[in-house]
Amino acid sequence: MIETLSKIGGHTAASLGPVELSLALHYAFDTPRDRLIWDVGHQAYSHKILTGRRDRFPTVKQYGGLSGFLRREESPYDVFNAGHAGTSISAALGMAIARDLKGDDFHVIAVIGDGGLTAGMAMEAFNQAGHDKRRLIVVLNDNEMSIAPNVGAVSGYLNRIRGGQPYNTIKDEIEELLKSIPGVGEMMFKSAKMVKDAISRAFVPGVLAEELGFRYYGPINGHDTDALLEVFEEAKNLDHPVLIHTLTKKGKGYEPAERDPYSWHGTTPFDIASGAFIKSKATAPTYTQVFADTTASMMERDERIVAITAAMPDGTGLNKVSPQFPDRVIDVGIAEQHAVTLAAGMALEGMKPICAIYSTFLQRAFDQVVHDVCLMDIPVAFAVDRGGIVGADGPTHHGLLDFTYLRALPNMIVMASKDENELARMLKTAVEAGHPAAVRFPRGNGLGVQIDEVLEPLEIGKGELLREGRDGAIVAIGHMVSEAVEAAERLAAEGVEVAVMNARFVRPIDTEMVLALADTAGCLVTVEDHFLDGGFGSAILETLEAHGRSGVKIARLGVPVGVHQHGPPEVLRARFGIDAAGIAQRVRDLIAADRRLGVHR
Ligand SMILES: Cc1ncc(C[n+]2csc(CCOP(=O)(O)OP(=O)(O)O)c2C)c(N)n1
């Protein structure tokens, strides 16, 4: 694992931690007959290696290779696809209920991290499973870390258990103690069961799980396979829910990762001997860095601005902002839904919250965006990072739905930036909008554009005409604008003059500019790094239809709706025809079709 990841990068520390756990689980249980469900799936490399994928492991996360997460299509041992946290107990309980309805008898085991356990839906599932009392095994892979150090009361609670004595040992010790008291005897001992339970409860914080209906085992050294096997064998014989609390070390077995599990959660390639990360030399800052720097400078000038992350301080760049503003950067844990409603509450009290949540994870908080923000027209700014194709993390992480789910909402303003400076200005616009406003930007580096000293907000609903042209028009959004400009340059070299519009806003659309282009250029090509259905191009179509221009020739370029596997963004974009070459070709095709039909412009 270390050798492979040193060459290609990946979830290094996360996957090194549960190696023994994975071995013990596959030894003790009859997988795939027994259903083993890993939460998130980023920690399951050893599971992959143990289940027939050792030879292909060097292809993990590579284009056409193994997925970095679980994938049912990849192996019968991957029983539930994941990528987002907190789903495993729900899926496991569903399978356990189905098993019993079918009269089957396999085991169902969910493996969830201490981070994943804090997700709202994990709590919901735990709540039902404890009440339901069905045979189900939940293994807690507790390494005290989410990606960053885990936060919250549940994490604090687990910490206290970690420091305590194992629950079952305490119970046994109290039993022995009671027996040894002269005159208590076997009979008395039985009636003293309540006393015993009460004493153990008083001593052991791990009792919460038992109170919630689970039999609790732990804490157990998650690197001690004998201890794990013993408890798994015991758990197999129980006919109610069991929580097995294992303690693992993130990065176990590779010293640099053990020492700094935060930086090593997911890594670039690295030098095995020194543990130094090998980074490609970037010419421009990442959009994430621009977001963080802009947020910090806006927070300096306005003390009402607060920034919220859901367990992604590093991914969102807010870890660079929090040292300066420890009280105004809030990590809520893996709790996107809560993050959004928390922001709404703060905004109503006069603060200016920026919710920094990746496009894919904001999906989980859709109802909160609708119900708790948009319906009340509460001014919350959303910094939607990782918009578009993300690359190696694949279908669970591509941000291809945000235009669709955000542009349909009342009061919501939706923007996407063409470069770093526009991102900074859009953030400023969002914070000052007085309405819910989302700014979408992609993973990766910007274009190397200088950022204005003084940030001027944009006029809401106004696009930017970057190039004139009478042969057609390309209407692009976000990071597709630079590709559109390049396509137009290539076409100009061939004598074809196309206009290029940087739409800036998906909502409200700059209707005036779109209609003017439709009327002068005659044909439009829309471009977005987003699913075609319901996205930006659809918004342009709706605009044309609403203003009596249904006859305008339009071609929409984007990502066809589908489950698109991982791969380098530039390769995937080329496949979908949303790079400069693809855009130029689409314009040529459209013009050629017109000529065949004898249309003159
Ligand atoms: C809904 C959701 N939000 C955020 C993330 C990003 N994320 C990936 S792994 C992770 C930490 C998970 O921590 P834990 O479950 O303890 O697993 P560990 O990596 O420590 O083994 C986070 C926050 C996610 N996958 N899903």
Q: Is the CB of 393 under 6 A from ligand 1?
A: no
pLDDT of the residue at 595 = 75
Q: How far is the CA of 181 from the centre of ligand 1 (A)?
A: 49
At residue 549, the 3 state secondary structure works out as coil
Q: Is the CB of 167 under 6 A from ligand 1?
A: no
Q: How far is the CA of 117 from the centre of ligand 1 (A)?
A: 10
The answer to whether the beta carbons of residues 579 and 483 sit under 8 Å apart is yes
For ligand 1, atom 26, the nearest C-alpha belongs to 84
Decide if domain 18-164+205-248 falls under CATH 3.40.50.970. Answer: yes
Query: Could you report how far apart the first and last alpha carbons of the chain are, in Å?
Result: 60
Q: Is the CB of 141 under 6 A from ligand 1?
A: yes
Q: How far is the CA of 40 from the centre of ligand 1 (A)?
A: 6
Q: Is the CB of 241 under 6 A from ligand 1?
A: no
Q: For strands 241-247 and 136-142, give the pairing.
A: parallel
pLDDT of the residue at 151 = 83
Task: Provide the β-strand partners of residue 384.
Answer: 440
Q: How far is the CA of 449 from the centre of ligand 1 (A)?
A: 33
Q: Is the CB of 146 under 6 A from ligand 1?
A: yes
pLDDT of the residue at 426 = 98
Tell me, yes or no, if 336 is annotated catalytic: yes
563, 542, 537: which is closest to 403 by C-alpha? Answer: 537
Rounded Cα–Cα distance for residues 555 and 21 (Å): 52
Mean pLDDT over the full length of the chain: 93
Strands of 413-416's sheet in order across: 329-331, 305-309, 352-356, 381-384, 437-440, 413-416, 505-507
Strands of 241-247's sheet in order across: 35-38, 108-113, 136-142, 241-247, 215-221
221, 237, 226: which is closest to 143 by C-alpha? Answer: 221
Q: DSSP class of residue 304?
A: T
How distant is the alpha carbon of residue 574 from its chain centre? 24
Instruction: For residue 261, give the ligand 1 atom closest to its CA.
Output: 20
Cα 469-474-480 angle, rounded to 5 deg: 135
Cα 359-484-512 angle, rounded to 5 deg: 85
Mean pLDDT of 428-432: 98
Cα 143-147-148 angle, rounded to 5 deg: 90
Strand intervals (E) in 161-273: 215-221, 241-247
Helix 511-521 × helix 536-546 angle, to 10°? 80
Confidence of residue 145 (pLDDT cuts 50, 70, 90): confident
Answer positive or negative: Cα dihedral of 96, 102, 103, 105: negative
List Cα–Cα distances, 593 to 91, 468, 497, 586, 588, in angstroms: 50, 22, 17, 11, 9
Task: Provide the β-strand partners of residue 556.
Answer: 526
Rounded Cα–Cα distance for residues 430 and 432 (Å): 5
**CATH architecture assigned to 464-596:** 3-Layer(aba) Sandwich (3.40)
Q: Which residues, at least 6 apart from 21, have a Cβ–Cβ distance to it below 8 Å? A: 111, 139, 141, 222, 228, 246, 248
Check pLDDT > 70 for residue 438.
yes
Q: Is the CB of 251 under 6 A from ligand 1?
A: no
The answer to whether the beta carbons of residues 437 and 430 sit under 8 Å apart is yes
Tens-digit pLDDT profile for residues 153-187: 888 878 777 766 666 666 677 677 667 776 665 66
240-244, 261-265, 278-282, 413-417, range with the lowest pLDDT: 278-282
Amino acid occupying residue 291: F
Q: Is the CB of 12 under 6 A from ligand 1?
A: no
Rounded Cα–Cα distance for residues 373 and 376 (Å): 6
Which residue is catalytic, options 53, 250, 418, 440?
250
pLDDT of the residue at 599 = 65
Q: Is the CB of 147 under 6 A from ligand 1?
A: yes
At residue 309, the 3 state secondary structure works out as strand
Tell me, yes or no, if 422 is annotated catalytic: no
Which residue is catalytic, options 48, 352, 364, 573?
364
Instruction: For residue 145, give the ligand 1 atom closest to its CA.
Output: 20
| Domain assignments of the chain as residue spans, ordered by start | 18-164+205-248, 287-440, 464-596
This prediction has a pTM of 0.93
Instruction: For residue 364, give the ligand 1 atom closest to its CA.
Output: 1
Q: Is the CB of 67 under 6 A from ligand 1?
A: no
Instruction: For residue 147, give the ligand 1 atom closest to its CA.
Output: 11
Q: How far is the CA of 14 from the centre of ligand 1 (A)?
A: 9
Task: Provide the β-strand partners of residue 112.
Answer: 140
Tell me, yes or no, if 364 is annotated catalytic: yes
H or E segment at 95?
A: helix 88-102
Rounded Cα–Cα distance for residues 481 and 440 (Å): 14
Give percent of the chain with pLDDT exceeding 70. 93
Torsions phi, psi for 267 (to 5 deg): -130, 165
Report residue 496 as tokens: 């074809």
Mean pLDDT of 363-385: 98
Helices (H) and strands (E) counted in the chain, each on its own, are 25, 17
Tell me, which fold does domain 287-440 have in CATH?
Rossmann fold (3.40.50)
Tens-digit pLDDT profile for residues 176-216: 766 777 666 566 556 656 655 555 555 454 678 888 899 99
Answer positive or negative: Cα dihedral of 408, 414, 419, 423: negative
Report residue 473 as tokens: 């028009």
At residue 355, the 3 state secondary structure works out as strand
20-24, 112-116, 475-479, 588-592, range with the lowest pLDDT: 588-592
Report residue 571 as tokens: 């390769």
Q: What's the number of CA atoms in the CB half-sphere (13 Å) around residue 404?
A: 18
287-440 and 464-596 share one CATH topology?
A: yes
Tens-digit pLDDT profile for residues 103-126: 999 999 999 999 999 999 999 999
Mutate to test the pocket of ligand 1, among 147, 246, 398 (most ligand atoms within 8 A of CB): 147
